[in-house]
């Protein structure tokens, strides 16, 4: 959002919320909220999203919490062994097991079994409709995309900088009947790629492996998005 405010304005004129709305595709209300964030609330949304994502990823990736078939095992909610409470302790930071369970139940990510156990239902954390965490994710994703575009536009031929990966596949004469299948195929393929990259990054992230050595602190990742719309001649 900062890149859109600073780099995509009109020379000699002050950047406006309306222009940023046009550039990013966000509504003016969303742009105003992202440009003037209420820091504590926004940070709380970010923390909650990160903690739930880490717990679900750890549940699916950590061998201690997988079943014999390699999937996420159903866990005792409490216990001295590898229970849900231990999963939360290991991956959520300071969020309590009760609060984590309540939030996962709220977004239909888990279900309770009769025997005092909990079962994971999803492959990743997806906030509910209208959830302010979804607005936080939207703002972050837009910011990362614009940052990549800005980096690629600024590269000079004589510089040593390399462009960031930015690709898409698009066809413009598709019948409506193929779209549902393409949504499913693209979602499945994208999910597999993201899970592979997630595992690679998790092994090298200091939050997961404090012993990892190296200099500085950086954010890196890959984002994938789906789009479709009626074809317009213009």
Q: What is the DSSP string of 163-231?
A: PPP------S---GGGHHHHHHHHHHHHHHHHHHHHHHHHTT-TTT-TT---SS---------------
Specify the range with the lowest mean pLDDT, choosing from 33-47, 69-83, 211-225. 33-47
Tell me what pLDDT residue 107 has.
86
Name 101's Cβ contacts closer than 8 Å, sequence gap at least 6.
77, 84, 88, 110, 118
* 205-210 mean pLDDT: 83
Q: Is the pLDDT of residue 220 over 90?
A: yes
Q: Is the pLDDT of residue 203 over 90?
A: no
What percentage of the chain carries pLDDT values higher than 70? 77
- Read off the tokens for 220: 């890196």
What are phi and psi for residue 63, nearest 5 degrees? -55, -30
Q: Is the pLDDT of residue 105 over 70?
A: yes
Tell me what pLDDT residue 156 has.
84
Give the residue, 217 or 30, on which the prediction is more confident: 217
* 140-149 mean pLDDT: 89
Q: How far is CA 114 from CA 99, 111, 202, in A?
A: 20, 10, 33
The pTM score is 0.64
Give the residue, 187 or 29, on which the prediction is more confident: 187
For 195-222, letters b (16+ CB in 10 Å) and e give: eeebeeebeeeeebeeeeeeeeeeeeee
Q: Is the pLDDT of residue 130 over 90?
A: no
* C-alpha span between 101 and 80 (Å, rounded): 18
* 11-25 mean pLDDT: 56
Other Cβ atoms closer than 10 A to 29: 10
Tens digit of each residue's pLDDT (9 = 90 or more) over 52-86: 888 998 898 888 999 988 889 999 998 877 899 99
Q: Is the pLDDT of residue 202 over 70?
A: yes
Tell me what pLDDT residue 1 has.
44
Tell me what pLDDT residue 15 has.
46
Mean pLDDT score of the chain: 81
Q: Is the pLDDT of residue 172 over 90?
A: yes
Cβ contact 120:56 at 8 Å: yes
Tell me what pLDDT residue 28 has.
61
Tell me what pLDDT residue 16 has.
60
Tell me what pLDDT residue 208 has.
75
């Amino acid at each position: 959002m900062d890149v859109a405010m600073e780099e995509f304005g009109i020379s000699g004129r002050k950047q406006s919320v309306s222009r940023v709305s046009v550039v990013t595709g966000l509504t003016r209300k969303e742009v105003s909220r992202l440009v003037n964030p209420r820091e504590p609330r926004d940070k709380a949304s970010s923390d909650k999203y990160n903690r739930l994502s880490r717990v679900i990823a750890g549940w699916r990736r950590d061998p201690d919490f997988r079943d014999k078939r390699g999937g996420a095992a159903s866990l005792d909610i409490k216990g001295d062994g590898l229970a849900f409470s231990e999963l939360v302790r290991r991956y959520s930071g300071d969020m309590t097991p009760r609060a984590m369970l309540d939030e996962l139940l709220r977004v239909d990510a888990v279900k309770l079994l009769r025997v005092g156990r909990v079962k994971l239902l999803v492959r990743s954390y997806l906030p509910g409709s209208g959830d302010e965490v979804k607005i936080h994710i939207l703002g972050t994703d837009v910011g990362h995309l614009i940052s990549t575009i800005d980096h690629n536009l600024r590269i000079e031929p004589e510089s040593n900088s390399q462009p960031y990966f930015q690709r898409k596949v698009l066809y413009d004469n598709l019948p409506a009947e193929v779209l549902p299948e393409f949504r499913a195929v693209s979602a499945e393929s994208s999910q597999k790629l993201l899970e592979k990259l997630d595992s690679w990054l998790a092994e090298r992230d200091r939050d997961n492996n404090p012993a990892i050595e190296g200099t500085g602190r950086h954010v890196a990742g890959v984002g994938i998005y789906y789009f479709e719309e009626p074809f317009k001649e213009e």
